[in-house]
Structure 1
Amino acid sequence: MNSRLFAFSVLTTQAFVCLPAIAQNTLTVPMEIVRISNPDLSAESRGSVTLYRFHPQYTLQMVQGSSRTELSLGGMIERSGNTDLSASRTLPSVRVLWESSSPVALFGLRASLEEASTRETEFAEFGRVTRDSTQRTGTLGGSWTRNLTAGSSVELAASHARLSYDTPLLVDYSETLGSVAYRFESSANSRYSLSASASRLNPDGVGDSASRGELGLGYEVDLSEGVNLNATAGAVRTNAQRSKTVPVGALRLTFTGERFDYAVAWSRYVSAGGSSGAYTRAESFESSLTYPFTVNTSLSLGIARARSLEANGDTGVSAYARIRSELTRFWAFTLGFEQRRAKPFGGPTARGNSVAVGLVYAHPNF
């Protein structure tokens, strides 16, 4: 996978070099030291570990006439002080986006190759505690949006994703998805959407293929200046060994003010998971608050909860507090604390904490 990531990045970079256009680039390099207690969230803690993280991210945007191209290169380099508790890893990522616009339409193509820690992805999406391994994801997709009237549009989209793992405890799979959405404005501050999607999941080696269909209705309204409410409701039908239809939906309320910002979100969804190589029902809740003490220093607070809705469902909860202080034009200091709690189905609750200290280098025009 790493060799494919390298070849992919070389080809996309050459494509950028060959195009004379207006370019903007950004370089961000977070560096931090993290001390984690009970990193695998076991019922009886096996101890603590110190991680050293280096997370460079470079983004290049180019505009040429009616076309826009964006290339993002990055990676997470993590070294562990105790590999028995947490593995040392290098997680590269490459993303490419190309868009072409006209007065009434927008056509886009995107591709990505990424690696991530399953301990992070499975916990965030399903509340699961899994073995410390690596998830590799490759995605190709495209979309076409056309304005029908001044206040309405239709969008067609398709994508194909391939996920693989470096452990036999998780199931490799591929998923192909297609969707259509119709959006229209009912007033100056409210918008509706109707959407439908269908996807097919094919696990490797074991398990049956599964299909998924979804119908949804969305509503978005600006309640007041800086306050936005977004709501969706619908149903998902899955077909594997047996068919079933379940309700899905989401609510999100955001506020952006002069003194602080906050967001609250809840969702119930059906998505593919590597633990079984099948579609899985889950529910999530997130809440965050950002408060600036001064012009250069801000405090962020947040809590998140993910819960699997299957028979052997797990629950994971995380809460964090982070401070960021701008030291100079390009450098910032960060300090963070996070607590995680895992409740496996039928098992005892496990807890773990982490403290992180770091520096961030950010250059908007590198």
Structure 2
Amino acid sequence: MRTSMTTIATAPDAAPATPRPARRGSLRGVLVLTGLLVFAGLLSLAIGSRNIPLSTVVDVLFDPDGSDASTIVHGLRLPRTVLAIAVGVALGVAGALMQGHTRNPLAEPGLLGVEAGAAFAVVIGIYAFGVTDLTGYAWFSLVGAGLAAAAVFTIGSTRGGPDPVSLVLAGMAISALLYALTQVVVLRDVDTLDAYRFWAVGSVAGRGMDVFWQVLPFILVGLLLAAFSASTLNLLQLGDDVASSLGLHPMRAKIIGVLGVMMLTGAATAACGPIAFLGLVVPHVARFFSGIDYRWVIPYSALLGGLLLVVADVVGRVVVRPGELQVGIVMAMLGGPVFIYLVRRTRMVRI
């Protein structure tokens, strides 16, 4: 009896399950995404109401010869492709910053009131100042986005700096107010409604390189702020108290992050109008491949955002030929089911 008891007492426990290694970003992953983005860009230059062989696209891209293919590539498809990449990069990074700073997996750039501010400013520009061109829309949109973000930032800040929960609540309140005011204006004037609908649907079609050059400085500043925020976001995930004990100044880090979101989202909305779901979905996909280290999440989000928006634009040209679907509509159709799948089938929403 003693022997059996001893045997039972000393029997080895069952081998513990081997933990799954955490995903980590890598330079190879960045290079793969860059290659996919370049290929998607070439497809964007080749596919449309008139398809152009990829070999011809490459030839005329670097050596314009005045042919019909060269005119189509340089005059029509190159500006919209470059703008789609820039806007996708901006919204992807803005979404990662927003989710990181609020520690809310369902946060997206529109929660700061930026899109609502841009929309209201564009409506005022059309109604009161007679703005009819995309260049005018861009400048009014940037001003409106900046003022709305500043109002949300002011309302959502406490003595200790911007509070994540207060920012979201203030953003929702300001967005609701501005969208209501926007509807009041467009319902009073049919001409304003017609012009506003063209911008509000979200599209990269019909934009020239002048729009890209106007918003590019704001996007670059936003990306620089995001790069500076990457390492601080890792500490902020531990909580403000822990981050402070490790030498971080939480308020300063949050201010920089919010400014980055404002710059990136304001510029993207100014260029193309509001585009839903991209800033919400892309950071989750990025974390699936790169893990939770924001030094990798942010570059992955940038490349995935550009890739997804270019692909959505190409899909919009194909599904209703010879017409087109605006990229904002395609993103809503693709982003909704994809996000539901991610939530239901994975745990990527956990930051």
Q: TM-score range by the shorter chain?
A: under 0.3
Q: Which has the higher contact order (CA 8 A, sep 6+)?
A: 2
The structure whose residues are more often strand, as a share, is 1
The structure whose residues are more often helix, as a share, is 2
TM-score (norm 1): 0.24
TM-score (norm 2): 0.25
Q: Which has the larger radius of gyration?
A: 2
